Amino acid sequence: MANSEAMEAIKSLVENGAFKFKADVMYPMQTADATRIANQLLMNTGNLGARVNLDNGYGIIFKNDSAKANLPYIGEVRISRSYLNSSDAGMSFNSRIENPNLENGKQYLLKFSVNDKTENYQIIMRFFNNGTTDVSISSSHRTAVKYRGKIVPLEDDSL
What is the model's pLDDT at position 2?
58
Measured over the CA atoms of residue 54, residue 35, residue 118 and residue 102, the dihedral's sign is negative
For residues 129 and 84, the model is more confident at 129
Q: Say what the pLDDT of residue 159 is.
A: 66
Pairing mode, strands 91-96 and 66-71: antiparallel
Q: How far is CA 96 from the centre of its chain?
A: 16
Q: Is the pTM of this model over 0.75?
A: yes
The pLDDT value given to residue 6: 80
Residues 44, 110: Cα–Cα separation, whole Å: 36
Which CATH code, of 3.10.290.10, 2.40.128.410, 2.40.128.20, 2.40.50.140, is assigned to 3-152?
2.40.128.410
Nearest alpha carbon to residue 41 among 30, 52, 56, 27: 52
Distances (CA, A) of 44 to 23, 25, 33, 39, 119: 22, 17, 19, 9, 33
- In the chain, what are the domain boundaries? 3-152
